Copies of this chain bind each other. A is one copy, B any other.
């Protein structure tokens, strides 16, 4: 497809979005099944392309953890196909009537869910995002334009080619799935400036990538942000809840955005909770970056700097700080939180209700692990990402968040008086 400009790809996606918007749920199920089958049948082709990415990655010295995120083996290709089938099984949001009434003059008004049109996605590293986003976009009746990470270029090229073949074999135009990977930086630029062609752009990846997309785009963006996630251990926090929830929120999967990064401990509870929680963390291999009080209560504490409070470690590191009051904890969160998820551990209903009311984050919890901020856990079946902005979607996004609405008005000659 290298004979085209990125703009032509956007135009083709827009044109194809008319066809995807007209698909019934049954059509979409059929199209997605044909993609799942194509992925399975073409596993060797995918793995071969992926091997080339991995060789290139090794040569350019990207770390083993990135290599692992990049890798597609037979099992992972099967998982890709399974994920597509899961999306195919989700309820179709398109056509759902979400509002409406009859106007006093008799005009009937109906607000219905419709596809956005064209969903753009800019993301990094993992090639499974290529398939996930395409499946979610199609299930919600959208065409999609993808821009994946250059490290996964060969894998993504083959995945897109296979999905496009599957679209055609299912009787839909291949143009409903586009990539601009082959245009490098110009491809991303075209997406970010695709006014009139890209109806919504979803960046997924590092804070730097998201910042670039948000500030540079002239198309509407859903910011799926970083998580500098806090847990507050209130004066009344029970030992077991404090320990179990902090350990779970840090250790169960440290590399994801809903993992806790900072623990704020009420001064009155510090001597009781900090040794307990810290030793549980340390026995799981977590490095503690703490303030002076923490360092006085626990051994092997790395002195925390200003930078620690603002850091999304995404690793077995945690920042720990003593606060004088709930007010101080709220002030710290206002200053350093990225508005993703915060949780308070407390049995004092006044503290809990203040925390739930005053913390301005997508998900605010009491006495639960921050790891629950997740589309699957929230019952959405699949996750487009976790929005940290307030416009359109906030928190875990399901399929409905990839749709817009339109108003249908049916009259019989009414005019306005």
A residues neighboring B (CB under 8 Å)? 18, 21-22, 101, 103, 107, 109, 111, 114, 116-117, 195, 199-200, 214-215, 218, 220-222, 238, 240-241, 244-245, 247-249, 252, 343, 352, 356-358, 360-369, 371-373, 377-379, 389-392, 394-395, 404-416
Interface centre among A22, A245, A409 (most CB of B within 10 A): A409
Rounded to whole angstroms, the CA-CA distance of A390 and B116 in the bound complex is 7
Residues of B within 8 A of A390 (CB): 116-117, 199-200, 220, 404
Instruction: Assess the A406–B364 pair: CB atoms within 8 A.
Output: yes
Residues of B within 8 A of A103 (CB): 372, 377-379
Instruction: Assess the A415–B364 pair: CB atoms within 8 A.
Output: no
Instruction: Assess the B356–A413 pair: CB atoms within 8 A.
Output: no
The secondary-structure label for the interface of chain A is mixed
Instruction: Assess the A410–B367 pair: CB atoms within 8 A.
Output: yes
Rounded to whole angstroms, the CA-CA distance of A368 and B416 in the bound complex is 9
Rounded to whole angstroms, the CA-CA distance of A372 and B108 in the bound complex is 11
Residues of B within 8 A of A220 (CB): 220-221, 389-391
By Cβ-Cβ distance, the 9 closest A-B pairs, closest first, are A368-B411, A248-B415, A390-B404, A392-B392, A220-B391, A371-B416, A365-B409, A241-B413, A363-B407
Residues of B within 8 A of A240 (CB): 413
Residues of B within 8 A of A214 (CB): 195, 218
Query: Assuming A218-B215, A241-B413, A410-B368, is B389 touching A394 (CB within 8 A)?
Result: no
12 more contacts with CB within 8 A, not counting A199-B390, A245-B414, A378-B407, are A107-B372, A109-B378, A117-B390, A222-B391, A244-B415, A247-B415, A249-B415, A352-B410, A360-B406, A364-B409, A390-B404, A394-B406
Instruction: Assess the B248–A368 pair: CB atoms within 8 A.
Output: no
Query: Assuming A372-B103, A394-B405, is B365 touching A416 (CB within 8 A)?
Result: no
Instruction: Assess the A200–B391 pair: CB atoms within 8 A.
Output: yes
Instruction: Assess the B410–A366 pair: CB atoms within 8 A.
Output: yes
Kindly provide the distance from the CB of A273 to the nearest chain B CB, expressed in whole angstroms.
14
Contact of A363 among B249, B368, B406 (CB under 8 A): B406
Q: Name A389's closest neighbour in chain B (CB-CB).
A: B220
Kindly provide the distance from the CB of A340 to the nearest chain B CB, expressed in whole angstroms.
11
Interface centre among A18, A114, A391 (most CB of B within 10 A): A391
Interface centre among A214, A240, A362, A364 (most CB of B within 10 A): A364
Instruction: Assess the A409–B366 pair: CB atoms within 8 A.
Output: yes
Residues of B within 8 A of A356 (CB): 408, 410
